[in-house]
Amino acid sequence: MLTFQEKALLVKLFYLNQQNSVAAVKEFRCVKQIRRGSMFPCALRKMIQKFETTGQPGILPGRGRKQIPSSSVEDVVIVVVEDNSQSPHGSVSVPVVSRVLDMPYSTVRKILRRILYIYPYKIKPVHQLQDGDSEVRTTFALEFLARMVVDVTWPWNILWSDKAHFFLNGHVNTRSCLIWVAENPQAIQEQPLHPDKVTVWYTATFVIGPYFSEEITANGTQTCSVTGNGAVIC
């Protein structure tokens, strides 16, 4: 913290050095025999600005944090309620609220978190278990372990790949579905294990096939085989 005498010396050196803040700070450090200090050229310019404005050496205070008006809070509440009622899952999108109100994204988040005290929660998707599912899964796991006892290298015969599903039943993408509430709703969404969907199955270099899907038409059963080269309808 600079004393009043040190501030006066800085002002004097500033004008003696033809209003060069860098040279003034350098000479000030030489006089005080210090290599570094709390005063830097940018801070000295601000101090001179206050000195020329008020006649007192110091630094002008900043504008401070701008208080969020109550009208903005009310606008956010209205849009959040409307967005929540229109969404089938009660989700609210902060970017949408920001876009509708033409309000900065950071301001919307401050209102939701620091004024309304509501926080984002994601829906937890879980498989909808049917009768007998537990027994089937247990049997599969035991058979898998039994094969490994016979041949420990057997899992290496499996082609591990990745896939993407395009659901036809309104499956929720939890990455973009957030529920803003004051307390955790403990919400889950049960999904059928085998819903109607289109699956893209692939490895790092190629598409795996074939795929088979059957459909009963007026002409009988129609089978569609999908491979990496195209689709064949029989």
**pLDDT tens column, 178-205:** 777 788 777 776 767 777 777 666 655 5
Among residues 36, 40, 34, 44, which one has the least CA distance to residue 8? 44
- Within-domain flag for 29: yes
Report the alpha-carbon distance of residue 12 to residue 150 in Å, rounded: 91
- Within-domain flag for 196: no
Boundaries of domain holding 25: 4-54
- Within-domain flag for 73: no
pTM of the complete model: 0.40
With contact defined as beta carbons under 8 Å apart, do 43 and 59 qualify? yes
- Within-domain flag for 49: yes
In the chain, the number of structural domains is 1
Residue 25: enclosing H or E segment and its boundaries?
A: helix 21-32
Taking only the tens place, the pLDDT of each residue in 92-136 is: 788 888 888 888 888 999 999 888 888 888 777 777 788 888 899
Residue with tokens 């309620």: 81
Q: Is the pLDDT of residue 210 over 50?
A: no
CA 3 to chain centre: 47
pLDDT confidence tier of residue 231, bands split at 50, 70 and 90? very low
Residue 232: enclosing H or E segment and its boundaries?
A: strand 230-233
Q: Helix, strand, coil proportions of the chain in percent (round to 5)?
A: 40, 20, 40
- Within-domain flag for 175: no
- Within-domain flag for 38: yes
With contact defined as beta carbons under 8 Å apart, do 179 and 219 qualify? no
Average pLDDT, whole number, for the chain? 76
pLDDT of residue 228: 47
- Within-domain flag for 22: yes
- Within-domain flag for 200: no
